């Protein structure tokens, strides 16, 4: 499969420690997700929402609901890292979550509203953190110790990654 279809903006870069200026840019990527996603899906029909963004990929509808699932987990991980000493976080089977009824068929507005409010809280939290707090860690079962700076890198990338999938699909299909 064409790697560009899977990773239209490339693979995520993970930095163990970020500067305050780097954080500002990455936090803004997270802050802008609800707006960018709204633009990317604007005007799509139900049939278009149920179109996979790439062969073997999720539908646009599933991607929207995946954002809510993924970013709820991310927010909880941030809170755990801030309130516990290197807590072990639980992974989740995102592909299986995307197959549940609440991810395959409901209106996307459910997740769009959730994302708008979740991101408002998450961004408020991130903008309040000190350098010392950004250095706090969580234990990921597959990645080991991960700083909040590293998590910010991942979710800043994620906030752009799937939107790019939808934008690329629209372009390929000629959906203006």
Residue 118 placed within a domain: yes
Residue 152 placed within a domain: yes
> CA 75 → CA 1, 63, 78, distances in Å?
32, 18, 5
Residue 14 placed within a domain: no
- The answer to whether 6 and 161 are in contact (CB under 8 A) is no
Tens digits of per-residue pLDDT, 62-91? 999 999 999 999 999 999 999 999 999 999
110 secondary structure, DSSP code: H
Number of domains making up the chain: 1
Q: Can you tell me the distance from the alpha carbon of 125 to that of 107, in angstroms, rounded to the nearest whole number?
A: 28
Look up the domain containing 47 and give its range: 21-173
Residue 148 placed within a domain: yes
Task: Provide the mean pLDDT of the chain.
Answer: 96
Residue 15 placed within a domain: no
Residue 94 placed within a domain: yes
CATH number at residue 117: 1.20.120.450
State pTM to two decimals: 0.95
H-type alpha helices, 42-141 = 46-49, 60-83, 94-97, 101-104, 109-128, 131-134
Residue 5 placed within a domain: no
- Dig out the tokens for 32 from the structure: 């802008």
């Amino acid at each position: 499969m064409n790697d560009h279809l899977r990773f239209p903006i490339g693979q995520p870069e993970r930095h163990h420690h970020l500067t305050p200026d780097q954080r500002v840019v990455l936090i803004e990527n997270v802050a802008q997700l609800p707006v960018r996603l709204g633009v990317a899906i604007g005007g799509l029909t139900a049939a278009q929402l149920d179109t996979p963004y790439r062969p073997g990929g999720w539908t646009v509808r599933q991607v929207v609901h995946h954002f809510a699932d993924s970013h709820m987990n991310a927010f909880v991980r941030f809170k755990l890292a801030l309130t516990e000493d290197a807590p072990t976080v639980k992974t989740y089977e995102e592909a299986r979550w995307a197959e549940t009824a609440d991810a395959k068929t409901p209106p996307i507005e459910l997740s769009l509203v959730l994302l708008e409010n979740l991101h408002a809280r998450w961004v408020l939290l991130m903008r309040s953190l000190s350098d010392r707090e950004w250095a706090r860690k969580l234990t990921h079962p597959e990645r080991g110790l991960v700083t909040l700076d590293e998590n910010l890198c991942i979710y800043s990338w994620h906030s752009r990654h799937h939107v790019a999938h939808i934008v690329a699909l629209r372009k390929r299909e000629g959906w203006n």
